[in-house]
Chain A
Amino acid sequence: MNPFPMVWADIRALRWTALAIVTLVALAVAIGVAIGAQERALRRSSAAAAEDFDLLIGAPGSQTQLVMSSIYLQPDAIPLIDGRLLNTLAKDERVAAVAPIAFGDISRGYVIVGTTADLVSRWGRLKPSEGRFFAGEGEAVLGADVSYKLGETIEPSHGVLGHAAKPGQVDEEEAGHRHEGHGYVAVGRLPRLGSPWDRAILVPVENVWEVHGLGNGHASEEAGIGLPFDGQKIPGVPAIVVKPRSVAGAYQLRAQYRQGGTMAFFPAEVLVTLYRALGDVRDVLVVASVLNAVLILAAVLLLLVAVAGLRRRRYAVLRALGAPRAYVLLVVWLGMALLIGAGCLSGLAVGAVFTRAVSGLVEAQTGLRLAFSLESREMLQVLLLFAIGSVVSLLPALMSYRAPVVAGLRE
């Protein structure tokens, strides 16, 4: 028995309806796939972006806000903490490395981050992809996506809160707030991190302090840059990143700096809370998309039942020509299963395209690179949908199987 010539004829007879069925199923699948894949990609790449930030210390306030502004470089007004803490921490034996993060300036729409070479190299993990890291004041290291070229002069402007700068573009707001007389020379570039830091210009923290008239934190102009800061007055910073030596040390440090006018926390914990919220949102969306898929399947089933009804005579003729009932059952069932299967497959493809499109938007907005991946979770979803669809299409198939031949012939 070979029902495929007839299956093919049936699908051709449906033509646009078949296309509509495939499209509807594809849409249902794509939405489901995109939601799952997008949420996971967001979670993964945001976690990857926070990888080198084990412990954050800042002035008491919102942890989420501090994470957003210091790790994801979303500018915000953050209260400062005493810069002397940097020296204290550097001497602490539980601390492997420590670095400040200071921000507030922009250039060509890129965030300028003041820090030390330690954090620029991500605690020694990274090598520059071009040039070298900064070794003195007035030097700048570019993120992978920054449009400045090595050797170019970078003019900082005061970033205006609530004004969303477009990376790579100088706008009026920026031009009007230029810090006259200050400038950096680009000396190196970082490899791509897939994080907002790809769009940052990293400079010595001393420069950021000086630009704002706070001195450079050192006793003399010739002291060089970086820790320790031996000046009379060490300016404050919005955030301090600590790389602890051990897990136990990390917990002790966090406990210690939770009090006494500072706030200390693991960014990973903040992310877990955010992910939980994100997961809740995803669950709601998944339920919505499942309902959506159920509705679409129901609509498709209704359509197919109607089509099977309209084809009673066609199938009765096959029976009169000698086709067994199983042949008719297979023709109807395979036709529908094929359409639903085609819908599932193209849904995966459309879902991938859709996810990529959304990822592109997210990246444009935040600099977070979202890696698309289809995993067993989505595959299972799609398989389940296909299985349900196939079982459900047995209904019209059985209808045709049981239809009396003569009644069909007389239609």
Chain B
Amino acid sequence: MPVSALPDGAAQAAAKPLHLHGVRLDHRGGDGRPFRVLDIPDLTIPAGARVGLRGPSGSGKTSLLHLIAGLIVPDAGSVAWDAKAVSSLPIPARDLWRRETIGFVFQDFHLIPELDVAANITLPATFSSWRIDKAQHERAAALAGRMGLGDLRRKARVLSRGEQQRVAIARAVLGRPALILADEPTASLDAEHANEVGALLVEVAREAGATLICASHDAALLARMERVVEIGALTGKPLALAS
């Protein structure tokens, strides 16, 4: 697929460096006792970087993404977007920051099956405004075309998995996020679709100048990243991340 500029040159939220400092995250085990999932003394992801997170199942990749997105707060330490300490914001402020800054892509797409392609892509715009303006409709259509989705009126329910993930990527980047988080975006796709989706993800991130953080087991996808961070197996003691 040819690399082309995004349809309009409107300003996007500028990517900023992401700092994690002294972050510790505990979950409770079946016996009710907490166990440490993440212990990150210090990690900085520079603005506009493309970083892969690799690690065995259960190593805490998803947890780390949730932490960065402000969906959970660490038991100790801080997550900061440049100078903004996201992890200590109150919930409404974190919701607002997430809406303005982050685009999330899930392994299982999580589209709204009853809505069509266009409505799925523009859904996040309805979180903040009553009307979706013309520019946004055009951008949604352009993004869909860019993702190879011709028919905007098709319900998400009937799309193939590859198509669904492309809609999900379009939805994630509609608001020009400065930080794109993807949790195993290719894991439920076959190799061919996975390749396409991986390429698209990297493309839109690069064009937008956004930071991209991808948790994945997919070597092909990780190969597209500038850097891969290893999150080691939980072998009794939590692994600290080196940056």
Contact = CB atoms under 8 A, between A and B. Distances in A.
B66 A321 contact: no
B240 interface: no
Interface string B165-202: 00000011001000000000000000000000000000
B95 interface: yes
A398 to B, nearest CB: 15
Interface string B217-234: 000000000000000000
A6 interface: yes
Given A1-B127, A1-B130, A321-B104, A13 B95 contact: no
A interface, size bucket:
20 to 34
B112 A314 contact: yes
A294 B66 CA distance: 42
A321 B98 CA distance: 7
A322 B127 contact: yes
Given A5-B119, A317-B106, A405-B71, A322 B124 contact: yes
A405 B114 CA distance: 22
Contacts of A409: 66, 71, 106
Contacts of A322: 95, 98-100, 102, 124, 127, 175
Nearest to B171: A321
Contacts of A9: 112, 114-115, 119
Interface string A106-148: 0000000000000000000000000000000000000000000
B85 interface: no
B2 interface: no
Interface size class of chain B, counting residues whose CB lies under 8 Å from the partner chain: 20 to 34
A179 B56 CA distance: 106
Interface stretch (A255-263, A323-331, A360-368): A323-331
B91 interface: yes
B69 interface: yes
Contacts of A212: none
B123 interface: yes
Interface in B129-157: 129-131
B12 interface: no
Contact of A13 (B72, B91, B114, B171): B114
Contacts of B72: 406
Nearest to A11: B114
Interface string A4-47: 11101110110000000000000000000000000000000000
A6 B115 CA distance: 8
A318 B123 CA distance: 9
B206 interface: no
B92 interface: yes
B115 A5 contact: yes
B130 to A, nearest CB: 5
A8 B119 CA distance: 11
B190 to A, nearest CB: 23
Contacts of B124: 321-323
21 contacts: A1-B127, A1-B129, A2-B131, A9-B114, A9-B119, A10-B114, A318-B123, A320-B106, A321-B104, A321-B124, A321-B171, A322-B124, A322-B127, A322-B175, A323-B124, A323-B127, A324-B95, A324-B99, A325-B92, A405-B71, A409-B66
Interface of A: 1-6, 8-10, 12-13, 313-314, 317-325, 327, 405-406, 409
Interface of B: 66, 69, 71-72, 91-92, 95-96, 98-100, 102, 104, 106, 110, 112-115, 119, 123-124, 126-131, 171-172, 175
Q: Which 10 A-B pairs have the closest CB atoms?
A: A322-B99, A9-B114, A12-B114, A317-B110, A2-B126, A323-B127, A2-B130, A324-B95, A405-B71, A322-B98
